[in-house]
């Protein structure tokens, strides 16, 4: 019996058997779904171990991870025993909620602590950590065949994401451009798009919005006509996250940029004509169809309102809506929609967030840490996370093309379609520079003032550009 | 003689004030028996089917979220809080009470400067000293240990104990102590049998306040320890995840975390009253 099971899983790894067939035949052999998954993990680990790459080279070492409390983390930790048995490396970890997570990371790195060997990071954070000398440039591992398994398909990671996590450190240089250092490995990501409550839109006899003017009209009408419901949710707190999500995605679609780098130095362009025209529309959308206390809105409020049925649509991360699909009032009513805000644009331009894995420059077990990084971002692990856990925005196209993943995600109407339409234009649209968090926080504060009518759009954005110029000069970035 | 109308109006006003101040606590208590769907209902409703799932999740360590089963370690966080706060207050009382007595009774060179230096620990924002502390702690092996955190908690608790009890010792009449010593008792015996009992309300108040401050500390535990030593203030944030905020569990965690402080407050209240009545005869 056990030979038959081994043969079956071997055939699956060789691609001769699909996952559904695998599970059906495993069930016939008396193997339950959970046992089949365990067996599959073990077989995959054995297959990796069978390659010529020495997975056991650092056996006996111990590494420590610093992770954010997130479904993606749960997906990784769920299978961490397979990594331990594959490599003989002991893994411990600390998991902190996102509210305090980056404080912990920054404290550990700035104190040159060797407590943690690798950690989760966003691409924006690497613009601060990398040039400070706190991160390892992963190129030294990726392109070293003695350090990286031949099975590791680096080029299989979506190109925009590989670029987004690589930067030269020179303010204004393009991400992934010449001389870029690979500060992190893309692991999972999310793109900003529209998710809507089909029940509410159906009741209002509405179709998903075609563009931003259409969205403004729909949101205003819903807020006015549907009791207890407002039209569109978007982030509005005084934080970088307010700019990063829907705002920058639509801003880019209207042809606006954050900085002009053509003259060889950073010049803020948040007060360009395109930026002002777009911001006028954005603020109008929020004033007519947004939440009443928009200036306090973070990821959580936006997502909760969609799940709780108090917002009809959200312009935010696709995963924020996805995580409202279970245990909420509106679970099952949430649909996804690719969104091109500018009526004259041809495709969506979602700004993205990339949960990546980065290695501390102070780690004393860098080779062992690298083993975990390549294992966690391998096709096998991302496929497992995407099909068996909630790693629902994998960074490899091959996982998006996986039939089991497609079958699973077909249960969430529009999810795959919005990804297919949005993905080609999805990338980081910010200009990389080390004052990212200061600049974007000032930007969010300016939007709040405009929203509350303390200043006009023109004055608010002119003042913002002036303030940012001063910040850059003070930091010696534009000299 | 107060008129009936006055008494009714006064009772009504007191009731309104009581409701105003108690409402948040009552609402949190109700939330701890609600599901997330009930909590997020718009408009909110006080009528719901109560559930114990939030408490069961906290105590069993298995939390069901929208993205599946999650392991939590809140009870361990609660135990950490008890260990850290209790030990910190005990250490502060052992060190701070004799020091406060010395500052109150004896004038010596640099005494006021030393007392002020200890108080100045309360002025400095913790963030100012955290990074150097983290460096030291890692170098000498105190990072992520109870001992290290209890040590650093002295920055919070010791100045409170010292300055509050110093005031009480200054109010204790020196004549009482002298009279006792004239009976042939030692200085140490006088300290334990006369000074400390008379200053007991101050010591109790200082102990209680220190405990509350230590219990509520967040930043030291966050930066100077990993999840194995972290208290409830950090642990409670685990219910805020990318997949949503588990309001029910947060409320239940809050209710559980209030219990030790509440017990201590009730217990200490007895000593406060006793100490005050003793104080009535000291003058």
Domain ranges of chain A: 2-47, 56-190+353-425, 191-351+429-474
| pLDDT tens sequence across B214-255 | 999 998 998 898 888 989 998 888 888 777 788 898 999 999
- CATH C-level class of A191-351+429-474: alpha beta
Cβ–Cβ pairs < 8 A, chains A and B: 108
Chain B residues with beta carbon closer than 8 angstroms to that of A304: 40, 244-245
Residue A55 has pLDDT above 50, yes or no: yes
Residue A182 forms contact with B (CB below 8 Å): no
Contacts of B134 in chain A (CB under 8 A): 107-108, 111, 113
Residue of chain B whose Cα is closest to the Cα of A299: B242
B36 touches chain A (CB under 8 A): yes
The answer to whether A111 contacts B134, with C-beta atoms less than 8 Å apart, is yes
**Confidence check: pLDDT of A417 > 90:** yes
A425 has a pLDDT exceeding 80: yes
Q: Does B241 touch chain A (CB under 8 A)?
A: yes
> Chain B within 8 Å of A60 (Cβ-Cβ)?
no
Tell me whether residues A304 and B245 touch, CB distance under 8 A.
yes
What integer pLDDT is reported at residue B280 of this predicted model? 43
Which of B36, B65, B67 to mutate: most A Cβ within 10 Å?
A: B67
B interface mutation test: which of A62, A63, A76, A100 has the most B CBs within 10 A? A100
Pick from A71, A96, A309: CB nearest B242: A71
pLDDT at B267: 82
The CA–CA distances, whole Å, from A105 to A199, A242, A255, A441 equal 42, 22, 35, 20
Q: How far is B26 from chain A (nearest CA, A)?
A: 23
Look up residue A211 and give its two tokens: 């563009």
A328:B66 CB<8 A: yes
Burial class (CB in 10 A: 0-12, 13-18, 19+), A1: exposed
Select the more confidently predicted residue: A26 or A330: A330
Q: Give the closest residue to A212 by CA, choosing from A310, A59, A315.
A: A315
A71·B243 Cβ contact <8 A: yes
Q: Which CATH number fits domain A56-190+353-425: 3.40.50.2300, 3.30.70.360, 3.30.750.80, 3.40.190.10?
A: 3.40.190.10
Q: What is the pLDDT of residue A45?
A: 61
B51 close to A (CB below 8 A):
no
Mean pLDDT (chain A) is: 90
* Residue contact A94–B43, C-beta within 8 A: no
Q: Give the pLDDT score at B283.
A: 41
Question: How would DSSP label each residue in A309-358?
Answer: TSEEEEEEEHHHHHTTSSSSTTTT-EEEE----STT-SS---BEEEEEEE
List the single best residue of B66, B227, B242 to mutate versus A (max A Cβ within 10 A).
B242
ipTM for this prediction: 0.73
Q: What residue in A sits closest to B222 (Cα-Cα)?
A: A104
By DSSP bridging, strand A311-317 and strand A185-197 are: antiparallel
Tokens of A5: 């099971």
Quick check: A96 and B131 CB within 8 A? no
- Subunit contact B135:A112, Cβ cutoff 8 A: yes
Q: Is A99 on the interface with B (CB under 8 A)?
A: yes
**Section A311-319 average pLDDT:** 96
Name the residue among A153, A93, A64, A167 with its Cα closest to residue A123.
A167
Enumerate domains of chain B plus CATH numbers. 4-71 (no CATH), 74-279 (1.10.3720.10)
The verdict on a CB contact (< 8 Å) between A327 and B37 is yes
Return the percentage of chain A with pLDDT > 70, whole number: 89
- Judged by CB atoms closer than 8 Å, whether chains meet at B243 and A111 is answered as no
Q: Which residues in chain B land under pLDDT 70?
A: 1, 64-70, 271-283
CB-based contact, A319 to chain B, within 8 Å:
yes
**Which run of H or E residues covers position B181?**
helix B174-182
Of A1-10, A185-194, B59-68, B155-164, minimum mean pLDDT range: A1-10
pLDDT at A248 over 80: yes
pTM of the model: 0.81
Query: How would you classify residue A93: left for phi > 0, otherwise alpha for psi between -120 and 50, otherwise beta?
Result: beta
A69·B241 Cβ contact <8 A: yes
Whole-angstrom Cα distance, residue A260 to residue A268?
6
């Amino acid at each position: 019996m056990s030979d038959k099971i081994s043969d079956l899983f071997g055939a699956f790894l060789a691609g001769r058997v699909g996952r559904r067939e695998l599970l059906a035949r495993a069930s016939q052999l008396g193997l339950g779904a959970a046992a089949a998954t365990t067996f599959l993990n073990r077989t995959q680990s054995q297959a990796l171990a069978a390659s010529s790459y020495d997975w056991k080279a650092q056996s006996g070492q111990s590494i420590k991870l610093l992770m954010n409390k997130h479904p993606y983390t749960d997906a990784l930790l769920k299978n961490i025993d397979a990594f331990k048995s594959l490599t003989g490396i002991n893994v411990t970890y600390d998991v902190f909620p996102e509210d305090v997570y980056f404080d912990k990371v920054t404290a550990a790195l700035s104190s040159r602590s060797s407590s943690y060997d690798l950690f989760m990071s966003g691409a924006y954070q690497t613009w601060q950590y990398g040039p400070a000398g706190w991160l390892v440039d992963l190129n030294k591992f990726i392109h070293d065949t003695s350090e990286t398994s031949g099975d590791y398909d680096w080029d299989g990671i979506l190109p925009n994401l590989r670029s987004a996590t690589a930067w030269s450190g020179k303010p204004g240089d393009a991400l992934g451009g010449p001389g870029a250092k690979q500060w992190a490995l893309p692991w999972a990501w999310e793109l900003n798009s529209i998710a809507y409550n089909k029940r509410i839109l159906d009741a209002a006899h509405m179709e998903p919005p075609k563009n931003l003017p259409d969205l403004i009209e729909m949101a205003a009408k819903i807020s006015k006509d549907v009791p207890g419901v407002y039209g569109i949710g978007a982030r509005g707190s005084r934080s970088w996250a307010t700019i990063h999500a829907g705002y920058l995605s639509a801003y880019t679609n209207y042809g606006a940029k954050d900085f002009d780098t053509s003259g060889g130095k950073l010049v803020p362009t948040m007060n360009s004509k395109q930026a002002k025209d777009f911001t006028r529309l954005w603020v109008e959308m929020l004033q007519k169809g947004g939440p009443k206390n928009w200036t306090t809105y973070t990821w959580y409020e936006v997502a909760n309102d969609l799940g709780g049925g108090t917002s009809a649509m959200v312009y935010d991360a696709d995963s924020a809506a996805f995580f409202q699909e279970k245990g909420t009032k509106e679970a099952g009513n949430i649909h996804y929609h690719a969104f091109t805000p500018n009526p004259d644009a041809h495709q969506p331009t979602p700004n993205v967030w990339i949960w990546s894995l980065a290695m501390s420059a102070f780690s004393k077990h860098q080779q062992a840490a690298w083993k975990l990084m390549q294992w966690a971002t391998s096709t096998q692990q991302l496929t497992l996370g995407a099909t068996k856990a909630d790693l629902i925005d994998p960074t490899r196209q091959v996982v998006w093309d996986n039939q089991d993943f497609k079958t699973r995600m077909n249960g969430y109407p529009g999810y795959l379609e919005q990804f297919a339409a949005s993905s080609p234009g999805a990338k980081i649209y910010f200009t990389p520079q080390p004052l990212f968090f200061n600049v974007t926080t000032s930007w969010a504060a300016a939007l709040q003032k405009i929203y509350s009518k303390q200043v006009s759009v023109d004055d608010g954005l002119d003042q913002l550009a002036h303030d940012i110029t001063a910040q850059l000069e003070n930091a010696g970035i534009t000299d | 003689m107060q008129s009936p109308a006055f008494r009714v109006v006064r009772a009504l006003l007191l009731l309104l004030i009581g409701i105003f101040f108690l409402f948040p606590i009552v609402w949190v208590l109700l939330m701890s028996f609600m599901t997330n769907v009930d909590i997020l209902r718009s408009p909110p409703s006080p009528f719901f089917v109560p559930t114990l799932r939030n408490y069961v999740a906290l105590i069993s360590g298995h939390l069901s979220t929208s993205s599946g089963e999650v392991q939590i370690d809140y009870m361990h966080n609660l135990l950490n809080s008890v260990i850290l706060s209790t030990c910190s207050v005990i250490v502060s009382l052992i060190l701070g009470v004799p020091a406060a007595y010395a500052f109150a009774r004896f004038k010596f060179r640099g005494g006021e400067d030393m007392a002020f230096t200890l108080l100045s620990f309360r002025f400095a924002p913790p963030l100012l000293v955290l990074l150097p502390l983290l460096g030291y702690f890692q170098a000498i092996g105190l990072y992520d240990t109870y001992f290290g955190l209890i040590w650093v908690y002295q920055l919070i608790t010791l100045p409170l104990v010292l300055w509050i009890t110093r005031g009480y010792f200054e109010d204790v009449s020196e004549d009482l102590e002298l009279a006792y010593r004239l009976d042939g008792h030692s200085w140490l015996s006088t300290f334990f049998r006369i000074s400390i009992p008379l200053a007991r309300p101050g010591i109790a108040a200082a102990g209680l306040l220190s405990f509350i401050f230590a219990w509520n500390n967040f930043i030291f535990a966050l930066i100077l320890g990993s999840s194995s030593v972290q208290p409830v203030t950090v642990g409670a944030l685990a219910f805020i995840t990318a997949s949503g905020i588990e309001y029910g569990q947060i409320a239940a965690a809050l209710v559980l975390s209030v219990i030790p402080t509440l017990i201590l407050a009730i217990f200490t209240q007895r000593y406060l009253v006793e100490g005050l009545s003793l104080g009535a005869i000291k003058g």
